[in-house]
Amino acid sequence: MNPQVLVADDQSDVREALRMLLKAEGLSALCAETPEAAERAARSRQVDVALVDLNYSRDTTSGEEGLALIEQLRQHVPDMPVVAMTAWGNVPLAVQAMRRGAADFIEKPWDNARLVQVLRTQLQLAGAMRRQRRLEAENALLRGDDEDDFIGQSPDMQRLMQAVARVAPSDASVLLRGENGTGKGVIAARLHALSSRARGSLVKVNMGAIAENVFESEMFGHVRGAYTDAKGERMGRFELADGGTLFLDEVGNVPASQQPKLLRVLEDGEFERLGSSRTLNADVRLVSATNADLEDDVREGRFRKDLLYRLNTVELTLPPLRERREDILPLARAFLTRSAMRYGRGGMHLAPSAEQALLAWRWPGNVRELSHLMERAALMAENDQVSAAALHFGRADAAAESDFEAMTLDQAEAELIARALRRYHGHLQQTADALGLTRQALYRRLDKYGLREQAHD
């Protein structure tokens, strides 16, 4: 889409001349006859740069109308550069325009080449500033703990990666299905890396961690004053992912009240920051992930059918670790080596007894559980050879299995959750992954059984 220039001038022949000049230079013109119309246009449309006249009343040469317009534009659309223009140009008026927020000054009658050069310079500077703010905002986000390591020797994973290679170059929306911890985030990163958007950003969003009351601010951004604590402007995740890939993890947790807003931006690429009526655009490739049965959620009215259709142009299902035994030991060795290097314990390796124990384990937490287990082994093992005894999993479960026979269903569930909390030292996300629950579902059960004090983020 061509960059859009807001042209504000009360003379129709001037507006038409500028529109034709800009069109010839590959720029789109959005014309306004009055300061009020210019302000409305800037607040409701995506404008890249404004070119505004300073005088609108034929009987005045003060420039006050244009100076006031510059202030209003800078206040309401601070990331849009403004170039002032007047037939009554003089140094004091140019200085005033710059002080009010103008980025540059053009005198009528204008020189076509200089006018176009000034506009292109401001477009480049504004683009650089947006990229800088995007980078700063990305660095402030929690991107998750997924690494780029990928090991998939099993037949199921080989078939999956062939499908990834076919789908990645397109812009088709992809829905990744699979149990918690199977590596959906890693596959999302691979889809991005193999796409034509690889030079753009991969922005990851855990939808299960976004509260309903901040959904719009997180996804679409907000302007200053949008709510009590909004002290300044903030980019949303869609803006940050513009030109790249947006990964929505746990997409089944999007609140029903917010699903229409998500559907709208997926359909036409348009949205507004919270507190603003200005429509913005984002060119985003969407990858989503879930371990939920979204079709069942649709039948129960918890998830919109049309939203599901937008998400699952292509569906890819990741197999659980227990079904890809060929990958268990290569993954374990890679995770152990990585963790050992991180903690300054190079040369660590698995003993035959540890390898047998790893192959025998049922892996309810899948690849993520294996990664955490190897990290703990790298920290706790007494020597460089990690034995089965150093892995510390499964003992309490086997010893007390018969205790469940005397329990009610609630008692058994509470006991399983308590054991998982102990196994993962109270870490909420690891516990939820091991139990096959979302964080929200685990929170409800912790409150139900009085276990909240045993958990931490």
**DSSP 3-state of 47:** coil
**Which of 317, 338, 354 is the last residue before a domain boundary?**
317
Flag whether the pTM goes above 0.85.
Answer: no
What stretches of 68-153 adopt beta strand conformation (E)? 82-86, 104-107
Identify the CATH number of the domain in which residue 271 sits: 3.40.50.300
Q: In this structure, how many other beta carbons lie within 10 angstroms of the beta carbon of residue 209?
A: 16
Please tell me whether residues 53 and 122 are part of one structural domain: yes
Please tell me whether residues 164 and 237 are part of one structural domain: yes
| Structural domain contains residue 95 | yes
Instruction: List, in order, residues 6 or more apart from 239 with CB less than 8 Å away.
Output: 134, 220, 221, 280, 282
Which whole-number Å values give the CA distances from 317 to 161, 164, 288, in the listed order? 11, 11, 12
Instruction: List, in order, residues 6 or more apart from 192 with CB less than 8 Å away.
Output: 168, 198, 202, 244, 245, 247, 285, 287
| Structural domain contains residue 149 | no
**Which of 278, 295, 317 is the last residue before a domain boundary?**
317
pLDDT tens for each residue of the chain, 457 residues long: 789 999 999 889 999 999 999 999 999 999 999 999 999 998 888 899 999 988 886 556 678 888 999 998 988 888 899 999 877 556 677 778 888 889 988 888 899 999 999 999 999 888 877 776 666 555 554 344 444 456 888 999 999 999 999 999 999 999 999 999 999 999 999 999 999 999 899 999 998 888 888 898 889 988 887 777 777 788 899 999 999 999 999 999 998 999 999 999 999 899 998 888 888 989 999 999 999 999 999 999 999 999 999 999 999 999 999 999 999 999 999 999 999 988 888 789 999 888 988 988 889 889 999 999 999 888 888 888 998 878 876 443 433 344 455 556 766 777 788 888 887 888 888 888 888 888 888 888 887 777 877 777 6
Please tell me whether residues 168 and 276 are part of one structural domain: yes
Range of the domain at 19: 4-137
Please tell me whether residues 443 and 328 are part of one structural domain: yes
Please tell me whether residues 110 and 226 are part of one structural domain: no
Please tell me whether residues 246 and 383 are part of one structural domain: no
| Structural domain contains residue 144 | no
Please tell me whether residues 274 and 351 are part of one structural domain: no
d(CA 31, CA 37): 9
